[in-house]
Structure 1
Amino acid sequence: MDLTNPTTENVTYMIEQIKEKLRMVNVDAMKAENFSTSQYEDLHYMYKMVIKRKKITPNEMQAIAAELGSLRK
């Protein structure tokens, strides 16, 4: 998948992958439609960071969730 273009489909894909990787409980808070392509670079950075990690500590998960919350519309 080509994630170099800031499209709604790419935002949806990245959010879904992040939710799956983090095994988030409150998935309603992470709906793809709550994110805009205007924050695409930041979201793409978060996506790359989360996906490449083999293990994420609870503290890191909390920080990631907080950062994603700040990227929401």
Structure 2
Amino acid sequence: MDLTQKTQENVEYMIEAIKNKLRMATGAAMQASAFSVERYDDIYEVYEIVMSKERLSISEVEAVASELGNLRG
């Protein structure tokens, strides 16, 4: 996956990867298609942080979920 391209497909890929990494219980409620390519750089930044960590604490998961909520739509 070439994440240097700012496409809706890449946005959706990153959101799904973040949800899988976090094992989010509310993942179904957070549809990847609800995220706009206009927020690509912000989503990519969250993606990079999440993927760089082997494990995330509960507070980190909550912070990521909150940030994703802010980036939707």
**TM-score (normalised: structure 2):** 0.95
Paired AA for residue 27 in structure 2:
V
1:6-35, Cα deviation, whole Å (9 max, x unpaired): 101101110110010000001133211110
Q: Give the match for residue 39 of structure 1.
A: 39
Match in the other structure for 1:59: 59
Detail structure 1 runs of 4+ shifted over 3 Å in the superposition: none
For 1:69, the equivalent position in structure 2 comes to 69
In structure 2, what is the Cα distance between the partners aligned to 1:64 and 1:5? 23
User: What are structure 1's unaligned runs of at least 5 residues?
Assistant: none
Structure 1 length as normaliser, TM-score? 0.95
Q: Secondary structure at the match of 2:5?
A: coil
Q: Percent identity, aligned pairs only?
A: 48
Q: How many residues align?
A: 73
